Structures are given as structure tokens and as C-alpha cells.
Amino acid sequence: MEPKRLRIGSRESLLAVAQTRLVIEQLKANYPELSFELVTLKTTGDKILNKTLDKIGGKGLFVKELDQALLDGRIDMAVHSMKDLPMEISDDLPVAAVPKRGDPRDVLVLPSSGDFEEFGQVIGSSSARRVLQVRRLFPEAEFQSIRGNIHTRLRKLDKGQYSSLIMAAAGLKRAGLKERISRYFSVEEMLPAAGQGTLCVQVRKDFDQSLFSCIHDRETELVTEAERSFVRALDGGCSSPIAAYAEITGSDLCLTGLYYNAADNTGRKMSITGKAQDAGGLGRRLAEQIQE
């Protein structure tokens, strides 16, 4: 029997809520008889803003409180950005659906005043993956860490603390801030984080996951599986300088991975193509090849 009301958990940031509402709208379209209650929680990752994520335990800190709310029965499902999920997901809290992927690209954001002609002088980003790649495009630039939600970052930019920011296209678009995008980086210029632009629905293992089949996108599931399998095989957390992007053409999947070895400060970029149904295996094989 289907529930009459779903309690949906989300981080309390405006972007997280906007993304969760996108999922709610998709569910409403398929289940008009259901009611939905949005439950927001502040996560540890949202509270600690004076340190980079790799110093405080990685992006799994953005899901801990929602995980506990699921286990406690305070919510029935949680909506996350896929790239915020730890690479190892508990069997008790499976991913029940992966909606169609949004824009996976990274973008350059300039101040709203547009006064900075030399926009590369101080670039704000807390992502080692982004910094290592964009440094090739703007070799004279200085890079400074920046934390906070999407609106906090933009306020810091507009106040002159940075001359530009590197951000995710999907987040800006979902927050209704598409007009702030000054330049899109192609995936060839800057390989995205595994799962970037993808949302997911997480539930308790005893919850009827078939309820979410109507919003699940199989192609997005496969490319995400390939990307995350690559990162997982390299023992990389969400803050590691590792990138992965997969695309499906017909029945084939092409996965490109980027791996930086911190020990000698070198990076390798490689691709592999195979059957899409073997997405996880392709990710593991590419990880093996890139370390040879």
C-alpha cells in the first residue's frame, strides 16, 4: 500500500531546498493523491565553514544528519546531490532513484558589477579538482578557498573578496541564477566531479523503492555508476583531486577519468569505452589502467 504522505528530508540551504522541490514536483506529477512534507536539517558540513572539506572529513558531512533522520523514521526519504554522497553507501540506506542528470559542467562566475577585466587574478574555489585543472587555463591566477552556500559565495564575490568563482552549472541553474554564469567550461577543459549535476533519492531499506521508479533515469544511473566506481577504486573521497565523466552512445559507454598523484604532483587523464551495462566494471578497469 502506498503511503498517503511522504516526509522528504533536505539540507536547509536554498539550493538544496530548490533541488528537493524539483524531485517533489516530479513525484506530484506521478502521484497527485499523495501529500508531501519538506523537512530541512542543518548538516555538519553546513555548520563548519572555516575549514576545507578534506580537513573535516569530506563531503559525507553533508548527509550524516539526514541519514540519522531516515534511520530514526523522522523522514521517509532524503534528496541529495550525488556528489555529496560518500563513495560507500550503507546497505541500510539504499539509493532508490536517480533522476535525469542536470548540466554536469563547471562554470566561471564574475562579479555582478562586471568591473574585473583581469578576472583570473583571484579565483575562489575549495575544490582541488577544479583548481588543478583551471590552473592550466589561467596559469597566472591566484587561488583562494571559499566555503558557504551558493548565495554566500556570490555575496563574497560581489563584495570584491574574489575576482571570479568556479562553480557547478547545475546548482546555479536550479537556484534560478543562470544569468550569473559568465563562461561554461567544456568537459574536455575541466572534467567534472563524479556525479556532478545528478540528484538522488535515499530511503531506508524497508521502504518500498518501487514508488520512485517513475522518476528514475536508467542512463543517469549507469553513467553515475561508472564515474563513482572509478573514484571508489582509487580510494578517493569526494574531496580528492579525482574527476570522472561518462557518456552513453547507443549501447556503449565512454568514461574519462582524471587522477592526480599527490605524492609527485602529477596527473593522468585516460578514457575507456565498453558496454553501458558494464558501467561499474569499466570504472574499475579505468582506475587500474590509470595507475599503471
Residue 280 and residue 287: Cα distance in Å, rounded?
11
Q: Do domains 1-100+198-216 and 106-184 have the same CATH topology?
A: yes
Report the predicted TM-score, pTM, of the whole model to 2 decimal places.
Answer: 0.89
Angle subtended by helix axes 150-158 and 14-30, to nearest 10: 140
Q: Please, where are the H alpha helices in 216-290?
A: 218-233, 279-290
Question: What is the phi-psi region of residue 57: left when phi exceeds 0, alpha when psi lies from -120 to 50, beta otherwise?
Answer: left
What proportion of the chain, given as a percentage, has pLDDT over 70? 87
Q: How far is CA 52 from CA 9, 39, 55, 252, in A?
A: 25, 27, 6, 37
Residue 32 and residue 23: Cα distance in Å, rounded?
14
pLDDT digits (tens, 9 = 90+) for 56-67: 445 555 688 999
46, 76, 84, 106: the active-site residue:
84
pLDDT digits (tens, 9 = 90+) for 127-186: 989 999 998 898 888 999 998 889 999 999 999 999 999 999 999 999 999 999 999 999
Averaged pLDDT for residues 241-270: 90
Q: What is the CATH number of domain 106-184?
A: 3.40.190.10
Residue 195 and residue 114: Cα distance in Å, rounded?
31
Residue 252: active-site member: no
The domain ranges of the chain are 1-100+198-216, 106-184, 217-292
So what's the architecture of 1-100+198-216 in CATH? 3-Layer(aba) Sandwich (3.40)
What 3-state class would DSSP assign to 130?
Answer: helix
- What's at 112, amino acid-wise? S
CATH H superfamily, domain 217-292: Porphobilinogen deaminase, C-terminal domain (3.30.160.40)
pLDDT score recorded for residue 49: 44
Angle subtended by helix axes 279-290 and 218-233, to nearest 10: 30
